[in-house]
């Protein structure tokens, strides 16, 4: 299980804390392996919701739960994994070929996502069979 | 007061909500007027804390309270202003010459900051007299 989590490319950043409170920093192409073109955040997620259900052709992403917690299910056709994001210090890197689903959002969860590309609906693979076709390479 | 707030360059973004919950998107050089090189977030701020107390030579910033709320005091030597950040939809743009101080953090506040430059201690003006010298242009 630890091996699986390591495969899922989690980056732990150092929290800059002092008598005022806490601060964490992520620099594009330094802390994470790509420049940040797009930032989005998911919040006010209803109880029991599971969302995501897609992979990408190009977009790489960094996910951080900056408030509360949630879980991420990942599948790159070589391994399936479940990662808990429960700290502003913990960054999960998603490659384009990581099919991902987010679930178990706490009511106060704010999931911050830093993306390598602008929004482009053509870059989403929302059909699992298509995902297997694109990334399967005869594995399945 | 409304005029002051408008001068402080607040961008209201459209929240993408559906039956799952909410999502807001910020794209570098599109939603906000610069590319994002650095992302940081301030959280766990102690009660009564006021922080910031600086301006920049180059760095432009976008501030969003993605959880809870806080206030920002601004001074560009032409106007002084206090802006409340209390919504994930509300982006405050800070120019390099905006001396800024953040205060009245709610216990659950997560203040997300998108910055146009990598961290460089030389880009901070932390002395108010120096700030006036750099940006005053004989105004005072």
**CATH assignment of the domain containing A93:** 2.60.120.10
Q: What is the DSSP string of A57-109?
A: SS--EEEEEEES-EEEEEE-SS-EEEEEE--TTEEEEE-TT-EEEEE---TT-
Among the partner residues A22, A39, A44, nearest to B21 by beta-carbon distance? A44
What are the tens digits of pLDDT across the range B41-73? 999 999 999 999 999 999 999 999 999 999 999
ipTM of the complex: 0.92
Question: How far A78 CA sits from the closest chain B CA (Å)?
Answer: 29
Decide: B99 and B54 in contact? Cβ < 8 Å.
yes
User: In degrees rounded to 5, what are phi and psi of residue A131?
Assistant: -55, -45
Mean pLDDT value of segment A87-101: 97
Nearest-angstrom CA–CA distance, B17 and B120:
37
Give the pLDDT confidence of A46-59 residue by residue, as tens digits.
999 999 999 999 99
pLDDT for position A7:
59
- Measured between CA atoms, the residue of chain A closest to residue B38 is A27
Span of A61-65, B50-54, B136-140 with lowest mean pLDDT: B136-140
Chain A CB contacts of B21 under 8 Å are 42-46, 49, 51, 105
Is residue B4 one of the residues assigned to a domain? no
pLDDT at B6: 43
Distance of alpha carbon A33 from alpha carbon A39, whole angstroms:
15
User: Residue holding tokens 């989403």?
Assistant: A124
Give the three-class secondary structure for B101.
strand
Chain Cα centroid distance, residue A128: 18
Give the distance from residue A29's alpha carbon to the nearest chain B alpha carbon, in angstroms: 8
Cβ within 8 Å, pair A112-B114: no
Q: List the domain range (segments joined by +) for residue A79.
A: 9-136
Q: How many domains does chain A have?
A: 1
Residue A95 lies inside a defined structural domain of this protein: yes
Return the structure tokens found at A13. Answer: 């950043």
Q: Do A49 and B118 touch (CB under 8 A)?
A: no
Establish if A104 belongs to a structural domain.
yes
Note whether A19 contacts B46, CB cutoff 8 Å: yes
Answer yes or no: is A57 within a domain.
yes
pLDDT above 50 for B3: no
Query: Residue B26: pLDDT above 70?
Result: yes
Beta carbons within 10 angstroms of residue B125's beta carbon? 21
| Cβ contact B108:A109 at 8 Å | no
Entry pTM = 0.93
> Which residues of B sit within 8 Å Cβ distance of A?
17, 19-28, 30, 35-46, 49, 51, 66-67, 88, 105, 108, 110, 112, 114, 118-119
| pLDDT tens track for B79-126 | 999 999 999 999 999 999 999 999 999 999 999 999 999 999 999 999
The reply to whether A118 falls in a domain is yes
> What pLDDT shows up at residue A139?
52
Give 3-state DSSP helix, strand, coil % of chain A, rounded to 5.
10, 45, 45
Do the domain assignments include residue B60? Answer: yes
Q: Is residue A3 part of a domain?
A: no
Mean pLDDT (chain A) is 93
Residue B54 falls in the annotated catalytic set: yes
Given a cut of 70, whether residue B13 has pLDDT beyond it is: yes
pLDDT tens for residues A112-133? 999 999 999 999 999 999 999 9
Contact A123, A50 (CB under 8 A): no
DSSP letter at A4 equals H
Does residue B100 belong to any structural domain of this protein? yes
Q: Shortest CB distance from B119 goes to which of A25, A51, A119?
A: A25
Interface of chain A against chain B, CB under 8 Å?
A: 17, 19-28, 30, 35-46, 49, 51, 66-67, 88, 105, 108, 110, 112, 114, 118-119
Task: Enumerate residues 6+ apart whose C-beta is below 8 A from A3.
Answer: none
Between B21, B41, B43, which is nearest A46 by CB? B21
pLDDT score, position A140 = 47
Q: What count of CB pairs under 8 Å joins A to B?
A: 126
């Amino acid at each position: 299980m630890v091996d699986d989590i390591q495969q899922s490319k989690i980056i732990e950043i150092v929290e800059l804390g002092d008598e005022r409170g806490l601060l964490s920093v992520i620099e594009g192409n330094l802390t994470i392996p790509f420049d940040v073109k797009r930032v989005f955040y998911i919040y006010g997620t209803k109880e029991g919701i599971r969302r995501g259900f897609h992979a990408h052709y190009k977009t790489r992403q960094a996910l951080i739960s900056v408030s509360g917690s949630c879980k991420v299910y990942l599948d790159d056709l070589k391994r399936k994994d479940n990662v808990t994001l429960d700290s502003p210090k913990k960054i999960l890197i998603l490659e384009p070929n990581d099919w991902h689903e987010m679930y178990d959002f706490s009511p106060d969860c704010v999931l911050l996502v830093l993306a390598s590309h602008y929004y482009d609906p053509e870059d989403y693979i929302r059909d699992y069979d298509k995902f297997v076709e694109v990334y399967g390479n005869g594995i399945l």
